[in-house]
Copies of this chain bind each other. A is one copy, B any other.
Amino acid sequence: MSRFWNNKVKELVPYTPGEQPKDKKYIKLNTNEFPYSPSPMVEDIIKNYDFEDLRLYPDPDVSELKNEIASFYGLNTENIFIGNGSDEILAFAFMTYFNSGDKIYYPNITYSFYPVYSDLFDLKPETIPLNKNFEIETDDYKNLDSGIILANPNAPTSIALGRDQIEEIIAANKDNIVIIDEAYIDFGGESVLELTKKYDNLLVIQTFSKSRALAGMRLGFAAGNKELIDGLDKVKFSFNSYTINRLSIKAGTAAVKDSEYFLKTVEALIKTREKTKKVLKEYGFFVPDSKANFLFVSHSRISGEELYLKLKDSGILVRYFKKPGIDNFIRITIGTEKEMEIFEEKIKEILKQNK
């Protein structure tokens, strides 16, 4: 510890991203990356880019990508904010809509970056337990006295609320900001992007790291009414004017343009997920109904930690959270059909050894 760290930094416990091991080649089912390449249009546009222009700052407003997203989702450009990954937008949202000392409500089991942000920005987290089926009970989120953040589908449980359920929560918290983190929405959930036109207290955040296959380019976006977006802009322009580089703007724009590829690859992923889900159920796993690009599963005969370690031994990385309530689970990112077949084989072997 340096004597120059401030009091906050001394206590800070950062978020731990999933392992990115460099020692050997794993089948990586641990960080919810998309198993298919980005749209071929991404490669085209970058290879044909005028590299001389990299000497120039990017457009700080990221207008080209904002316009493309707005047009794809039937929103207006002024309702879109672009971030360097959706995590950056989450950080800015915590900085924009909460005063130090404010309460913030989220489930006791959810994306583990929310407690880190709460800590970093001095908020008071009020965690609300999931029900015994690992679901969010919408009634628990009505008429609260401060802002709410919900991942939908929730992570790492994979379970989604329907649009109507989310709307109930938004409508029952008209004086509170409600942030819906839709990182995994494209895999079968119902987005509430459209509701940003109806409610001034709703901010929806999505990412290009999952369904758009661009985790490596760092892009996310938020949608909300103009004044909510203006607030994010004020914070961003007080933090770093140019968060999105020239090639990311081009890559993101191409990925949104190629909607055919997007729909086709997402459909393939959902098909693989349903197949894997079926197999795991046959093997006796508890498998909640996932609307995400991952499954969150447990087995009565083998612990989550043991599963994680045995899979790692056999060259497959999944994510294990050593946390109360979910420490018997593993989170399995859906890979290609071939990867999931190998995974299913390994699981079968491991279960045999644990008879």
Main secondary structure of the interface of A (DSSP, over half): loop
Interface size class on chain A is 35 or more
A15 with B238: CB separation less than 8 A = yes
Residues of B close to A85: CB separation below 8 A: 240, 242-243
Given A237-B14, A242-B218, the answer on whether A4 and B228 have CB atoms closer than 8 Å is: yes
Flag if B84 contacts A84 (CB, 8 Å).
yes
A102 to B7 alpha-carbon distance, docked (Å): 12
Would you call B17 and A84 a contact (CB within 8 A)?
A: no
Interface membership of A2, Cβ < 8 A: yes
- Per-position 1/0 for A161-176, Cβ under 8 A of B: 0000000000000010
Could you tell me the distance between the alpha carbons of A3 and B245 in the complex, rounded to whole angstroms? 31
Contact A55 B38 (CB under 8 A): yes
Bound state CA distance, A2 and B237, in angstroms? 17
Q: Which residue of B lies closest to A7 (CB)?
A: B99
Asked if A99 meets B8 with Cβ closer than 8 Å, knowing A36-B55, A47-B47, A84-B84, the reply is yes
Roughly how many angstroms separate A235 CA and B91 CA in the complex, as a whole number? 11
Asked whether A51 lies within 8 Å of B59 as measured between CB atoms, the reply is: no
Residue of B with least CB distance to A91: B239
A52–B46 Cα gap in the complex (Å)?
13
Q: Taking the nearest CB of chain B, how far is it from the CB of A234, in angstroms?
A: 5
Q: Are B28 and A56 in contact (CB under 8 A)?
A: yes
Complex Cα spacing A52 to B242, Å: 26
Give A22 Cβ to nearest chain B Cβ, in Å.
8
- For A212, give the chain B residue with the smallest CB separation: B55
Chain B residue with minimal CB distance to A52?
B37
B201 touches A4 (CB 8 A): yes
Residues on B with C-beta less than 8 A from A95 are 6, 8-9
Does A307 have its Cβ within 8 Å of any Cβ on chain B?
A: no
Interface string of A83-112 (1 = CB under 8 A from B): 011011001000111110010000000000
Chain B nearest CB from A10 CB (Å) reads 9
Closest B residue to A11 by CB, please name it.
Answer: B234
Residue A215, interface by CB 8 Å = yes
Which residues does chain B contribute within 8 Å of A334, judged by CB atoms? Answer: none
Closest Cβ neighbor of A83 among chain B residues: B240
CB neighbours (8 Å) of A55 from chain B are: 33-38, 213-216
Tell me if A251 is interfacial: C-beta within 8 Å of chain B: yes
Instruction: Give the chain B neighbours of A177 by CB distance below 8 A.
Output: 4
Whether A116 lies near B247 (C-beta < 8 A) is no
Say yes or no: A4-B51 contact (C-beta < 8 A), given A218-B243, A235-B12, A238-B119. Answer: no
Residue of B nearest to A200 (CB): B2
Contact assessment for A2 and B99 in the assembled complex, using a CB-CB cutoff below 8 Å: no
Q: Scoring A residues 8 to 40 as 1 if CB is less than 8 Å from chain B, else 0, what string do you get? A: 110011111100100000001001011111100
23 interchain pairs, CB-CB under 8 A: A1-B230, A2-B228, A2-B230, A2-B231, A3-B175, A5-B234, A6-B98, A9-B234, A14-B234, A33-B55, A37-B55, A38-B51, A38-B52, A54-B214, A54-B215, A57-B209, A84-B240, A85-B243, A87-B240, A91-B240, A217-B245, A245-B247, A247-B248
Task: In the A-B complex, list the 4 residue pairs whose CB atoms are closest, starting with the nearest.
Answer: A2-B227, A14-B237, A216-B246, A54-B216
